[in-house]
Amino acid sequence: MASEQLRVGAVVITMGNRPVEFRALMESIAKQDGPPIDVAVVGNGAPVPELPPMPGAVRTVDLPENLGIPGGRNVGILEFGPGGRDVDVLLFLDDDGLLPNQDTGQLVREAFAADPGLGIVSFRIADPETGETQRRHVPRLRSSDPMRSSRVTTFLGGANAVRTKVFQEVGALPEEFFYAHEETDLAWRALDAGWSIDYRSDMVLHHPTMPPSRHATYHHNVARNRVWLARRNLPAVLIPVYLGVWFLLTVVRRPSATALKAWLGGFKEGWRTPCGPRHPMKWRTVWRLTRLGRPPVI
């Protein structure tokens, strides 16, 4: 399919507490080169703020309660039909982000049109003031050069593009995660189905530098969801290896007593509670992850 034929949509979830940043993001979507991008905006437990004029179709949903990041995004996907089938590619953008370049939408079209096996693209997140990209925002172990694009094994949740055939083939984001690791869960399922994931340094989202620990449930959810991630996706023999490595890394990083207590509570909850359907990845997927530089034990 030629790039101009690809239908691109965008999903934005918001809690309505950043109206200035939200409006700027929407305006940056409206300014993208090429055919207009249709948008689904989900008010995650809050009304959708006032929208600027948009060249494409706009769908809005006000949810009575906050369903979390994956739950809210899944609602947005459904606004484009089951599995997002009314479009070919969906952008997922944080409501306090901004597309600084007008060619990002066109770059997305060209990337997916050129590679039929490409399932997900992870954008580069840069601070709007300094232009710097944090190492944690480069989704690979060798993250010292954020300007190097490459094949990767996961992606950034609030700055990415997903071919909708991925959702139709492997399912939606795991709503029970609420926040943390939902992208890696989808990435592993996509890789296991044969799709590729790219990190593209030329597709940029501006986002202010903030620590992930700003979220009240960060340490708890990170630990719980990592256990769920392993239980859902890894071959049985790798589950204790993966979680043992992360347990040791967490202790070595010497978190505060409060953070460690929350992390341990989440780790225990991850073992005690249902994690959703289990579909262990194939061993050839384990080898593929290893060849890409990130074996699924870390």
- pTM for the model stands at 0.95
- The confidence band for 64, taking pLDDT boundaries of 50, 70 and 90, is very high
Locate the domains of the chain by residue range.
3-210, 216-278
Residue 2: per-residue pLDDT: 75
CATH 3.90.550.10 fits 3-210, yes or no: yes
In terms of pLDDT, which residue wins out, 211 or 7? 7
Q: Is the pLDDT of residue 125 over 60?
A: yes
Q: Mean pLDDT across the stretch 202-224?
A: 85
Q: Mean pLDDT across the stretch 203-213?
A: 85
- The confidence band for 298, taking pLDDT boundaries of 50, 70 and 90, is confident
Q: Is the pLDDT of residue 216 over 80?
A: no
Residue 213: per-residue pLDDT: 55
Q: Mean pLDDT across the stretch 177-190?
A: 97
Residue 215: per-residue pLDDT: 54
> 254's torsion region: left (phi>0), alpha (psi -120 to 50) or beta?
left
- Least confident range of 42-46, 186-190, 203-207, 252-256: 252-256
Question: Which are the contacts of 134, defined by CB distance < 8 A and separation ≥ 6?
Answer: 125, 127, 209
Q: Classify residue 177 as exposed, middle or buried by CB count within 10 Å of its CB (0-12, 13-18, 19+).
A: buried
Residue 214: per-residue pLDDT: 53
Q: 154 by DSSP, 3-state: which?
A: coil
Residue 261: per-residue pLDDT: 94
- Least confident range of 141-145, 241-245, 260-264, 288-292: 141-145
As a whole number, the mean pLDDT across the chain is 95
